[in-house]
Amino acid sequence: MNRFLVGAAWIAIYVALATAPALLLARLSPAPPRDFWTEFSVALGFIGFVQILIQFVLVARFRAITAPYGIDIILYYHRQIGMVATLAVLTHPVILIARRPAAAALLNPLAGTWGTRAGVAALLALLLVVGLSIFRRRLRIGYEAWRLSHALLAFAAVAGSLIHIARTGVHVTAPAVLAAWVALTCVLLTPLGYNRLIRPMLAARRPYRVARVERVADDFWTLHAEPVGHRGLAFEPGQFVWLRLHHPYSIDEHPFSILSSSQRPGHVEFGIKEVGDFTRAVGDIAPGAAVYLEGPHGAFTTDRIPSAGYIFIAGGAGIVPFISMLRTMADRGDRRPVLLIYSGRTEDSLAYRDHLDRLAAQSDRPAFEVVYVLEQPPPGWTGPTGRPDTALLRDLLPREGITRDILICGPDAMIAAVERSLLELGVPASRLHTERFELV
Amino acid sequence: MRHVYTNRVVVLMTVLLLAAAALAAWLRSRPPAPSPAPAPRAGAPTDDRHLEAGRQAWVRACAGCHASGEPGRPVPSRLSRQTEQLAAAEGGRAYLVDLMLYGASAPAEPGARRFRHPPFDTLTDAEIAGVLNLLLAAAEPAPPPFAPADITPARATPRTREDVAASRPRPAD
């Protein structure tokens, strides 16, 4: 079906699911009416709670749901709306205490009832979830530890909220209504179980093994994987997978962009930059080790962005999806013109230069050009230096009769700066496509 | 560019969620059609008994555990009867006030289940009096209503939950 229609349908379902429970409760609750602000505060609590439940579905990587938008967008949205939901939940007690300062005593875990205690605990868990996500890097918390804490704390928040709703609420007292809430919670938490149990089981049926691991730059590795007993991975160039090492049920899983050509599903390569504990140990992975892939994911692919030609702008590890796109184009005999602007700090930090130079030199791809931009150029460097800013992009962008789509992938700050510059230069927004790989 | 659109969706969704919460609150807080409260008896002005404050406090503090589950009847009749009996017993009125302020706790004994009640000293004197009067509203003949002045002195002498439970009047039999 049309991807646009599917996208619109999901949004309609989402909006209905996000608002209906609070409105239904307001219509059906048998409790006597209270003043507007008290009811507003309670409604915010319910709406925040339901929104948090919905997040469990959003981040479960169901391709049917994420495909219209791209999972990086879904995760970006999750990050933002998660904060909004937490603020809504936080506002619930704030309004109540503002109206009746004496109620602040209920924040003391020794006062109050199990219902208020559960509510306070759930709120603290939520604030921790948000705080750890915002400050993860500054607190030097590893990705793995953060992810585990994120899931456990979010789960605790949901459990605490349910107890709070059941014990303190005046709207959810009838057993049938309470049962409906518990059922809603369970349904929306199912994806968590599916992700942890069913999906690894499916991945285990299609195992891969590590063929070799090679160092390609300062802190950059290529991992070669081969399917064991099946035909391999069908993907579009630019997509990525979640990868588990050794064990299909490991909670330690990591998103990696595919480096290889989508025309060669039987040999999948990943470009991996050292950023955390897992990626720093990539060099130690022995050939033959089992690998399990979950995916592909992502909407950042030339197959979904039809254009007469492309301009790729890469920063750091953002080069990986572009290599996959370029190799796929080469394999397909696709001769559309491509200009790649690849920026990095030093010459040694530019991974896959040999690949790129070879592709550029290939006679059947005269339309591929690559420009390297270095922040700290070595002596004798003749290429452009600095960052890809407005002045540099104005010089580099081809002046031609066709309009090419521009794909940007790199660190968040670089993407934001390049996007701003291109808009300043008059590139229409509809021609810009970005992928942020900094998921957290 | 998709991120810019996403930011707009986040703002839109935030507004939508706030609107939904406001709508839900408006639906809930509209003046009720028929008042679920028992009609005040002739000659007893509602204000004296703080019934309105009591009803609001009931919804906030008590209904979570004590809700009758029947629309139109906030207070379960069994709880009303128990309160009537306690109020009529010797020391019962002081016990009811302490129960509201400090809670109660007694372990299970042969012939008696474990008994626990949370403290509600965050309620105002008028609210506590109102809640007790609400519970006694159906009693015949009408016992003297609780006044905020009946609650105030009890705040000066904090008691433990166990202490309060021990002071509960025994049912006369």
* CATH number, domain containing residue B49: 1.10.760.10
Look up residue A364 and give its two tokens: 């059947």
> Higher model confidence: residue A259 or residue B75?
A259
Cβ atoms of A226 and A292 closer than 8 Å: no
Are residues B4 and B81 part of one domain?
no
Q: Is residue B11 domain-resident?
A: yes
Q: Residue A272's CB: how many other CB atoms inside 10 A?
A: 27
Average confidence (pLDDT) over B2-7:
78
Shortest Cα distance, chain B CAs vs residue A298, angstroms: 13
Among the partner-chain residues B7, B23, B118, the one whose CB lies closest to the CB of A23 is: B23
- The secondary structure element, H or E, covering residue A253 is strand A253-257
pLDDT in tens, B38-58: 554 554 455 678 888 888 888
Residue B5's domain spans which residues? 1-30
CA angle A353, A359, A364 (to 5 degrees): 165
Are residues B51 and B104 part of one domain?
yes
Q: Is residue B173 domain-resident?
A: no
Are residues B57 and B135 part of one domain?
yes
Task: Name which of B2, B51, B66, B124 to mutate to probe chain A: the one with the most chain A Cβ atoms within 10 A of its Cβ.
Answer: B2
B59 φ, ψ to 5°?
-60, -40
Are residues B74 and B15 part of one domain?
no
At residue B35, the pLDDT reads 47
Q: Is residue B112 domain-resident?
A: yes
Are residues B16 and B54 part of one domain?
no
Q: Is residue B121 domain-resident?
A: yes
Task: Encode burial over A389-421: b for 16+ CB neighbours within 10 A, e otherwise.
Answer: eeebbeebbeeeeeebbbbbbbeeebbbbbbeb
Separation CA A365–CA B74 (nearest Å): 80
* CA A295 remoteness from chain centre: 13
CA distances from A152 to A126, A147, A148, A156 (A): 11, 9, 6, 6
Q: Is residue B21 domain-resident?
A: yes
Q: Note whether B59 contacts A: Cβ–Cβ < 8 A.
A: yes
Taking CB atoms and an 8 Å limit, are B28 and A15 in contact across chains? no
Given pLDDT bands bounded at 50, 70 and 90, which one contains residue B32? Answer: low
Look up residue A205 and give its two tokens: 């049926």
Integer-rounded Cα Rg, in Å, for chain A is 25
Q: Note whether B21 contacts A: Cβ–Cβ < 8 A.
A: yes
Q: At what angle do helices B92-102 and B148-155 cross, to 10 degrees?
A: 70
Is residue A59 helix, strand or coil?
coil
At residue A384, the pLDDT reads 92
Are residues B97 and B51 part of one domain?
yes
Task: Count how many pairs of residues, chain A against chain B, have C-beta atoms within 8 Å.
Answer: 139
Are residues B142 and B103 part of one domain?
yes
Integer-rounded Cα Rg, in Å, for chain B is 21
Q: Note whether B17 contacts A: Cβ–Cβ < 8 A.
A: yes
Are residues B139 and B60 part of one domain?
yes
Q: Is residue B151 domain-resident?
A: yes
Is residue B115 helix, strand or coil?
strand
Taking CB atoms and an 8 Å limit, are A39 and B25 in contact across chains? yes
Q: What is the pLDDT along chain A (440 residues), one digit of tens a residue?
A: 577 788 889 899 999 999 988 888 888 877 777 788 988 999 999 999 999 999 999 888 887 788 778 788 888 899 999 999 999 999 999 998 998 887 788 888 777 778 889 999 999 999 999 999 999 888 888 887 888 899 899 999 999 999 998 888 777 777 888 888 888 888 888 888 887 788 888 888 999 999 999 998 888 999 999 999 999 999 999 999 989 988 888 877 888 999 999 999 999 999 998 887 788 888 889 999 999 998 898 889 999 889 999 999 999 889 999 999 999 998 998 889 999 999 999 888 889 998 898 888 875 655 888 999 999 999 989 889 998 899 999 999 988 877 899 999 998 889 999 999 999 999 998 899 988 766 55
Among the partner-chain residues B27, B37, B60, the one whose CB lies closest to the CB of A26 is: B27
Q: How many domains does chain B have?
A: 2
Q: Is residue B172 domain-resident?
A: no
- The secondary structure element, H or E, covering residue A129 is helix A114-135
Are residues B86 and B12 part of one domain?
no
User: Which residue does chain B place closest to A101, by CA atoms?
Assistant: B122
Are residues B98 and B47 part of one domain?
yes
Are residues B103 and B54 part of one domain?
yes
Are residues B65 and B20 part of one domain?
no
Q: Is residue B47 domain-resident?
A: yes
Taking CB atoms and an 8 Å limit, are A34 and B32 in contact across chains? no
| Helices and strands (H, E) in chain B, number of each type | 9, 2
Q: Residue A184's CB: how many other CB atoms inside 10 A?
A: 16
